[in-house]
Structures are given as structure tokens and as C-alpha cells.
Amino acid sequence: MILSVAERSYLYESLKQSPPIRPDGRSVKQFRPIQTNVGFLESSNGSAKITLSDGSECIVSIKSKVIEKASIESGRDTLVDVDIEVAGQRDDSSFILNLISTLKSIYSNYISQESLSLTNRFTYKLFIDILVISNYSYPLTLISFTSYLALKNTYLPKLTSSVDDKEIEEQPTFHDYEFVKLQIQVPIIFTVAIIDNNYIIDPNSQEMEVSDNGIIIGWYDGNIISPIENVKLNDGNSKSIKPELIIKSIELVKSLGQSVIESLNAAE
């Protein structure tokens, strides 16, 4: 988004106030309203869509595949694979690759092996395909919320063969139509924009454009986790961050996480 000098300085000054005056009237810890939709893709194991008030839209589809556990242990395969497509961005741009690497590392750390385990030799592998149809602000929070909904609403085929296949060579067989809901805890990621001495959650495109810097913070089960990183929210306006602000943002995310999870769960 391109802002004129006057617009930029007006926005910056109002966001500098204490408490900050945000252009859409939100409070520091208020998210933009979201509209959710789950389980609408018949051909995938789980799916979700979130539409933001500014028109940003993200669709996530979860698919699964049975793989041998040995291939994961040997490092040939991973338990979770993430693919992201953002409209208007090249697949090999550093923007996309950075989103992928962040999500891959958070999901492979926090999606437990037990929850996907089938038998002693086989396990499910999850493919998380993310499509951001339109995007006006930094999409990571949107993506992580949508993936949360999709993963929480994923149904995997029910195993009918025996779990213990150590002794006997046996391919797992599945029930014809019954599915089991995937029971996992999913981490989510928050974006905080830093403006002067203020920190605001879920910045929209205008706020991003004038912000001094941005931080992404992971949240899992009531606690703060990696990634804790700073991100570039605009081109060339970035400034250094005071350490206190990072700590305050982390505290804010820690206190908000549970209520966000509750409202996301209510969306099911």
C-alpha cells in the first residue's frame, strides 16, 4: 500500500499515542473480525477457509498419506509437509520460502508423532496445502489460524487392521466409510507490529506500512514457543526495537492465546 507523506505521518502520530488510535478503531489487542468455513473440500481430509474484513482470504487443505516410520527416522521423509501459494508472489520468492520454513519447523516440532501414528511400522503423513487468494497484510497469522481450523477438523480413515505389526508383515487396512477425528494440539502464530513505544496485534495494511518493525511469536498450549522473530512489514521504514517492547509483546500474546483458541474452536 502506498501512502502519501501526510497520510503516513498522520497514521504514525495517531498510532504513537497512548493508547494508540488505530485507523479502524480497534484496541491494542483486538483482532480484525474473521469469517470461517470448515470442511467444505470433499476430496481432502480437512479443510478450512478464513475471510478477513479487509478481503484477505486463505484456504487450507489437509491431505494424508500412509508412510513407513523408518523413512522419517532415516530423514528421507518428514511427518508434515507444508506448501504455500500466495496470489501475486512467485513460488521461489524469499517471502514464500520464509513462510514455508517457519510453518514447517513449527508444525514438525509440535504436531506429535503419536497423534499420527498408525501401527508400529506405519504412520500418517500430513500435507498442509495453503492458498492465500487475496492478501493485504502480512499473511502468517491468517495462515496459522486457517491451518489451525483445518487441522482441528481433519478426519483420517479408521484403521481396522491390527496396530501391532512388528512380527507379521501386514499392510494396514482401513474402514470403508468411518473416519476418526484427528486429535492434536496445534500451535498458532501471532504478528505484532511495533510503532514507537506501542505494540499492536494483527496490524492491517496501513498499520504495517508505517510500523517500525514487526515480530512474529508462536503460541502453543498456553505457552510461548519459537518462532520468535522479527519480520519486515514494509519496505525501508524499519527501525530498531527496544527489548522491553519484545517482552511486552510476548506477554500480550501469552495472555491472548487462550481466548483466540477458544473463539477459533467455537467456529467449528
Please tell me the distance from the alpha carbon of residue 84 to that of residue 96, in angstroms, as a whole number.
7
Contact residue for other proteins among 66, 224, 256, 267 (CB under 8 A): 224
Q: CA geometry: angle at 37 spanning 199 and 155, to 5°?
A: 110
All 3 cell numbers of residue 195?
Answer: 510503532
DSSP 205: H
Residues 20-59: x/- map of binding to other proteins (CB under 8 A)? ----------------------------------------
Residues 175-214: x/- map of binding to other proteins (CB under 8 A)? --------------------------------------x-
Cα-only R_g, the chain: 20
Please tell me the distance from the alpha carbon of residue 132 to that of residue 143, in angstroms, as a whole number.
8
* Identity of the residue, 97 or 180, whose beta carbon is nearer to other proteins in the bound complex: 97
The rounded Cα 239 to chain-centroid distance in angstroms is 26
Interhelix angle 140-152/94-110, nearest 10 degrees: 40
* Identity of the residue, 161 or 185, whose beta carbon is nearer to other proteins in the bound complex: 185
Q: Side chain identity at 40, as an amino acid letter?
A: F
* Identity of the residue, 15 or 99, whose beta carbon is nearer to other proteins in the bound complex: 99
Burial class (CB in 10 A: 0-12, 13-18, 19+), 266: exposed
Residues 107-136: x/- map of binding to other proteins (CB under 8 A)? --xx--------------------------
In the complex, least distance from residue 158 CB atom to other proteins, rounded to whole angstroms: 30
Alpha-carbon dihedral 60, 173, 121, 155, rounded to 10 degrees: 20
Please tell me the distance from the alpha carbon of residue 184 to that of residue 204, in angstroms, as a whole number.
30
Of 37-45, 134-142, 156-164, 247-255, the window that binds other proteins (rule: CB under 8 A) is 247-255
* Identity of the residue, 118 or 186, whose beta carbon is nearer to other proteins in the bound complex: 186
Contact residue for other proteins among 242, 258, 263, 265 (CB under 8 A): 242
Query: Is 70 one of the binding residues for other proteins (CB under 8 A)?
Result: no
Query: Is 98 one of the binding residues for other proteins (CB under 8 A)?
Result: yes
CB contact set of 47 (below 8 Å; sequence gap of 6+): 38, 39, 40, 41, 59, 60, 61, 62, 150, 153
Q: Report helix, strand or coil for 70.
A: helix
In the complex, least distance from residue 107 CB atom to other proteins, rounded to whole angstroms: 12
Please tell me the distance from the alpha carbon of residue 116 to that of residue 200, in angstroms, as a whole number.
36
Query: Is 251 one of the binding residues for other proteins (CB under 8 A)?
Result: yes
* Identity of the residue, 7 or 54, whose beta carbon is nearer to other proteins in the bound complex: 7
In the complex, least distance from residue 244 CB atom to other proteins, rounded to whole angstroms: 9
Provide the binding-site residues for other proteins, judged by CB under 8 A: 90, 92-94, 97-98, 100-101, 104-105, 109-110, 213, 215, 220, 223-232, 235-236, 238-243, 246-247, 250-251, 254
